[in-house]
Structure 1
Amino acid sequence: MEPPSDSRDYRVLFFCPASTARLERIDAPVRRLLSRIQAPPAELAPIDEAGTLTEAGWKVFMVRSLTERSAAHALAAYVSELTCTLAAELDGEVLGLYIDVTGDSARICRCGPEDGPETFAGRRPVALGRTAEWLEVSPAGLSALFQVDMPDDYEPDAEDRFVEQKLREAREFMEQYRRTNKIST
């Protein structure tokens, strides 16, 4: 039996469109999933952030464990599923983010109501950078939400830059495809 994970070591946040995000609309899907996977007790708590995320049109919700055992850690494998469920419920794009605070890993998922999930997993600085890019905000603002520090001297290596370039190209191709389909329909 593996030791229980400490609730302070993990974070799961959902970035939802501020125009439609209401706690009562997204709380039920989160509770259903927590119950289904038999996760430790948790609540979905809005994060009152009056900075760049609010200005960019996002409302942030955090899965907050109600015990020392981490519900966020239990949700790590379900971030994509829950992100897509919330996107369908809110009829808008939602981004889910899981971070292992003591480790150096993170997992993100972006999903729209009619789109499949776009996911990324990797080192924390790279994942926070990708999240900031997707949300169109600064990485420093995101790291404050998680109460983790972004290293001042973090510099992506050649592999990180290569992957970032390929992902930018893929996003451009996807946008071209979407524009073409909208025009032709």
Structure 2
Amino acid sequence: MSQPRLVLFLADIEGNLTALRQTLSRACETAHVPLPDVRWVEAATPMTDAGWRVAEVKLQPSGGKAVPEDHLDSLVRAVARDFRDQAVGLYTDKAGSYGRASLSEPGRPSRSLEGEYIDVVRQTARWLGVEAPVLGRLLDGGATARNLLAAAVDFGNETPQQGAAAPGKPNRRGEQPPAPPPEPDEDDRFVEAKLVEARRLMEQYLSHRK
């Protein structure tokens, strides 16, 4: 079962982890919550192509006390201010079908939303300029064939576009064009077959409900 996660997305692709920890330390001190551990997360190519560096904040049991995820908006604003660029924060509890997200950019009003897990992840993916399954696989802990299938079913079979930059946002990886997608392997063919079967079963289910 997926555990709750708190993930930060920095538009500073060369972001410094020590600087991020210092920012979070000050923000947590202001919010009177304990400082969590934070680490970089290896993200899929579409995420880095869109210009995002991903960090995960390690969550601890609250024990009835205030915790960092309770102050997501202020944490994200602090990151955007100190790094002088866009920052996005996403808290998800997939088992509870709940999500909360925040977007901040210097000189602009912050935006936030909360609600159903899938709806929040979809909107956050739009903010990041990636396809929802890309973000879904990151939250599920990897890009295995099993997770690819689960993400595609969860998010309506939106296919990730390799090398696509975020809308209205330059590709921060440089001027080199993206490499062509690799030829489908056995896992890819397995996933595609399962997706076809899932679509067939869904259509059959919907037709029986009419």
Q: Report if TM-score (shorter chain) is over 0.5.
A: yes
Instruction: From the superposition, tell whether residues 39 and 152 of structure 1 become closer, same or farther in structure 2 (CA, over 3 Å).
Output: same
Q: Residue 24 of structure 1 aligns with which residue?
A: 18
Q: What one-letter code is carried by the residue in structure 1 that aligns with 2:117?
A: R
Q: Residue 153 of structure 2 aligns with which residue?
A: 152
Distance 2:100 2:134 in 1: 18
* Greater mean deviation of Cα atoms: 39-48 or 76-85: 39-48
Distance 2:152 2:129 in 1: 20
Q: Residue 129 of structure 1 aligns with which residue?
A: 122
Distance 1:12 1:55 in 2: 22
Determine which of 54, 64, 69 is the counterpart of 2:58: 64
Q: Is the 8 A contact 1:17 1:92 kept in 2?
A: yes
Q: Residue 104 of structure 1 aligns with which residue?
A: 97
Distance 1:64 1:153 in 2: 25
Determine which of 37, 42, 46 is the counterpart of 1:48: 42
Distance 1:42 1:82 in 2: 12
Instruction: From the superposition, tell whether residues 123 and 88 of structure 1 become closer, same or farther in structure 2 (CA, over 3 Å).
Output: same
Distance 2:78 2:114 in 1: 19
- Matched residue count: 146
How many Å apart are 1:9 and its aligned residue?
A: 3.0
Identity %: 21
Structure 2 residue matching 1:152: 3-state secondary structure: helix
Point out the structure with the larger helix share. 1
Q: Is the 8 A contact 1:13 1:62 kept in 2?
A: yes
Instruction: From the superposition, tell whether residues 127 and 22 of structure 1 become closer, same or farther in structure 2 (CA, over 3 Å).
Output: same
Structural RMSD (CA) = 2.6
How many Å apart are 1:122 and its aligned residue?
A: 0.9
**What residue ranges of structure 2 are gaps of 5+ in the alignment?**
142-149, 157-167, 169-210
How many Å apart are 1:143 and its aligned residue?
A: 1.2
Q: Is the 8 A contact 1:40 1:70 kept in 2?
A: no
Q: Is the 8 A contact 1:39 1:74 kept in 2?
A: yes
**Largest Rg, 1 or 2:** 2
Q: Is the 8 A contact 1:132 1:139 kept in 2?
A: yes
Deviations 1:16-71 (A, max 9, x none): 01345221221112123344555456311101124111011100000014xx5269
**What residue ranges of structure 1 are gaps of 5+ in the alignment?**
1-7, 156-174, 176-185
